């Protein structure tokens, strides 16, 4: 990867078969769209340290960063940024605290069947298949016969 590439880290926080998604408040162009909590890796900072810092700032929780899920996804330059950028999704364990929307419009815990219904930022969409495989289906497992009544 180009040394100049900006890495944005997102946290895949999974609890009880659901993943935490966050709805952006800013900038205006992205307001209302869904993403994973996280942000830009600062110069000299490791992606794992950036994830821990961002989760503290945005959610008020302590997380432990784990492995990357899938490959980095490039996303296009914006008016204020000409460097190439990638989104890296790191699995993260909640160590302390209950997530609160300190910088987002709202938070939701999503089951696999909920993933498709949200207006995600484009770079997040390629991760949804991998994430869906890690989550619980919303209802009873497919193919299971209804229980016999009476
Ligand atoms: N946090 C986060 N950002 C994402 C995701 N997907 C995606 O395309 N992005 C983009 C949106 C922004 O252009 C950029 C991250 O910016 P940010 O505003 O969240 O990062 P930051 O907190 O470090 O920002 P800053 O205020 O310090 O500039 O990456 C995602 O899942 N999570």
Query: Does 90 contact ligand 1 (Cβ within 6 A)?
Result: no
Give ipTM to 2 decimals: 0.96
- Which residue has 């008020």 as its token pair? 60
Query: What is the atom index within ligand 1 of the atom nearest the CA of 57?
Result: 22
CB 34 within 8 A of CB 126: no
Which residue's CA is minimally distant from atom 20 of ligand 1? 39
Quick one: pLDDT at residue 138?
61
pLDDT for 102 beyond 60: yes
Do 34 and 117 touch, CB atoms closer than 8 A? no
Structural domains of the chain in order of their starting residue, each with its CATH number: 6-134 (3.90.79.10)
- Which pTM was predicted? 0.90
Strands 85-96 and 6-15: parallel
Ligand 1: centre distance to CA 137 (Å): 28
């Amino acid at each position: 990867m180009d040394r100049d590439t900006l890495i944005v880290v997102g946290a895949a926080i999974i609890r009880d078969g659901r993943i935490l998604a966050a709805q952006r408040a800013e900038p205006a162009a992205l307001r209302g769209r869904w993403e994973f909590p996280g942000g830009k890796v600062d110069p000299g900072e490791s992606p794992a340290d950036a994830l821990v810092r961002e989760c503290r700032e945005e959610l008020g929780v302590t997380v432990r960063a784990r492995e990357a899920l899938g490959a980095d996804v490039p996303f296009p330059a914006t008016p204020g940024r000409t460097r190439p950028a990638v989104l890296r999704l790191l699995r993260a364990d909640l160590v302390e605290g209950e997530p609160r929307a300190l910088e987002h419009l709202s938070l939701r815990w999503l089951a696999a069947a909920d993933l498709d219904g949200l207006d995600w930022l484009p770079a997040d969409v390629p991760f949804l298949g991998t994430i869906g495989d890690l989550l619980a289906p919303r209802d009873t497992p497919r193919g299971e016969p209804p229980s016999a009544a009476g």
